[in-house]
Amino acid sequence: MDSSESSKLTHFDAAGQAHMVNVGHKGATARVAVAEGLIRMHRQALACVAQKTAHKGDVLAVARVAAIQGAKQTSALIPLCHLVALTHVAVDFSIDEAAGAVRCQVRAETVGPTGVEMEALTGVQVALLTIYDMCKSLDRHMLIDGVRLMHKQGGQRGDHAADASERNDHAV
């Protein structure tokens, strides 16, 4: 990456050095982000999750707590993220039998100078990894897929909603 490219990125200074963005001048506003993703697994494993009969216990109950904890720990995991005072984290799961998957959606909220997209995305990933960990004895071929930001509200860039037809096939 040359210096002209790095100067366009907010997490790099004019010399191309990584830094945490200064949000001290921004006012506190209400911010919301919703992220989702899914984990695909064999039908037998999915049935154990749905029926709460997995050997390690109620998979979705543990994954819900893990998602909340993951959202709360985002700044410790992602190097340049700000510590965000979350005001609310909600986690929803749905069983999609046709796709052979558990879908996870995390909604993160705060009132502050920076958004909560990373907290919502981290919450989803940690929930899905927890499901993987608790079900790996049932299925070693699970696939975490489709993790993305679905909606964000607040901040100077305004609201954003993912188009239902958007796919994760961005060119590199």
- Any idea what the CATH number is for the domain that residue 48 is in? 3.30.70.640
pLDDT tens by residue, 26-43: 677 899 999 999 999 999
Q: Evaluate whether residue 161 is within a structural domain.
A: no
Please count the structural domains in the chain: 1
Query: pTM for this structure?
Result: 0.84
133 is catalytic: yes
Structure token digits, residue 61: 């109950």
Q: What is the number of residues in the chain? A: 172
Q: Distance between CA 71 and CA 97 in Å, rounded?
A: 27
pLDDT tens by residue, 117-132: 999 999 999 999 999 9
Report H helices in the chain. Answer: 3-6, 43-51, 59-72, 74-77, 117-135
Host domain of residue 89? 24-154
Q: Enter the DSSP assignment of 60.
A: H
Phi, psi of 59 (to 5 degrees): -60, -45
Longest CA span, the chain: 55
Q: Evaluate whether residue 50 is within a structural domain.
A: yes
Task: Single out the catalytic residue among 2, 92, 133, 169.
Answer: 133
pLDDT tens by residue, 46-87: 999 999 999 999 999 999 999 999 999 999 999 989 899 999
Phi, psi of 128 (to 5 degrees): -65, -40
